[in-house]
Amino acid sequence: MEIVRIPVLSDNYVWLVHEPESGETMVVDPAVVDPVLAEAERRGWRIGQIWNTHWHPDHTGGNATIKAATGALVTGPAAEAARIPTLDRIVCEGDRVRLGAVDAAVLEVPAHTAGHIAYHFASEQVLFIGDTLFAMGCGRLFEGTAAQMHANMTRLSALPPETRVYCAHEYTLSNGRFAVTAEPGNADIAARLKAVAAARDAGEATVPTTIALERATNPFMRASSAEALAALRAAKDNFRG
Ligand SMILES: [Zn+2]
């Protein structure tokens, strides 16, 4: 599976995914239209599907126009169908979504939004997680609770450590600056922050991450309880670093 990062808006990543055996291509959370169509065109790929993780406009804004331009089938969370009017197919926990020769399991990971889902290609060790898990951080709790997010973190931390995690935003530097204050004694966090700062200075992306890296350096994944996660989330919401 080929996965191409398309940076759009101020800090969003749209992921263009191509399965070479079948030649099928899908796009995860198209915030916008033109850069996505241009990248597919440049590679000679025809977008046949759009997969959404949640309803936020910076994840679904390109749905209608890309669908009109390509005939793509749009898949997204059943619990948010009313808020994503472009959906053709709704999915829930345990459903499987196919891209050519491979398929992904749908995981319900509510908290950032009430119906947020992720797509896990176990055979490829690839996870499209939207705004639930970020490198060294997690999504804001707009429609859910710290207990839900803690359950998500616990669940995701149990995935194979080498799983590559494709988040939807480049938030790593800000998250890392917070993470060193949350766990000042954690040498792995300090080292990662240094590497991330250097990468960002060089104009490089820091996503995807891996489950192993998040287990070692993500205070939200490392939180011992929902209460601990709630305190971290509140502190990060007010953090200016
Ligand atoms: Zn969002």
Percent of residues, the chain, with pLDDT higher than 70: 100
Task: Give SS3 for 229.
Answer: helix
What is the predicted pLDDT for the residue at 155? 98
Q: Which helix (H) or strand (E) holds 12?
A: strand 12-19
Q: Is the pLDDT of residue 241 over 80?
A: no
Active-site residue, 59 included: yes
Residues, CB within 5 angstroms of ligand 1 (ion): 56, 131
Q: Whole-model pTM?
A: 0.98
CA–CA separation, 18 vs 99, rounded Å? 8
- pLDDT per residue over 124-163, tens digit each? 999 999 999 999 999 999 999 999 999 999 999 999 999 9
Angle, in degrees to the nearest 10, between helices 146-157 and 226-237:
110
- pLDDT per residue over 176-203, tens digit each? 999 999 999 999 999 999 999 999 999 9
Q: Which helix (H) or strand (E) holds 166?
A: strand 164-167
Q: Is the pLDDT of residue 240 over 90?
A: no
Q: In what order do the strands lie in the sheet with 126-130?
A: 96-99, 102-108, 117-121, 126-130, 164-167, 209-210
Give CA separation, 53 vs 75, 87, 151, in Å.
Answer: 9, 12, 18
Rg (CA), the chain: 17
- pLDDT per residue over 224-237, tens digit each? 999 999 999 999 99
Active-site residue, 56 included: yes
Residue 184 preceded by cis peptide, ω within 30: no
Q: Which of 112, 116, 120, 150 is catalytic?
A: 112
Q: Which of 29, 58, 116, 120 is catalytic?
A: 58
Active-site residue, 112 included: yes
Q: Is the pLDDT of residue 100 over 90?
A: yes
- pLDDT per residue over 32-68, tens digit each? 999 999 999 999 999 999 999 999 999 999 999 999 9
The rounded Å distance from CA 138 to ligand 1 centre is 11
Torsion angles phi and psi, residue 180, rounded to 5: -70, -25
What is the predicted pLDDT for the residue at 151? 98
Alpha helices by DSSP H, the chain: 34-43, 57-60, 63-70, 146-157, 172-182, 187-201, 211-217, 219-222, 226-237
What is the predicted pLDDT for the residue at 79? 98
Label each residue of 40-65 as H, E or C: HHHHCCCEEEEECCCCCHHHHCCHHH
Contact 85, 74 (CB under 8 A): no
Task: Give SS3 for 127.
Answer: strand
Task: Identify the CA nearest to 214 among candidates 141, 133, 150, 148.
Answer: 133
Q: Mean pLDDT, to the nearest integer, of 82-95?
A: 97
Give CA separation, 58 vs 2, 4, 30, in Å.
Answer: 23, 18, 8
Q: Mean pLDDT, to the nearest integer, of 88-106?
A: 98
Active-site residue, 120 included: no
Task: Identify the CA nearest to 211 among candidates 169, 165, 167.
Answer: 165
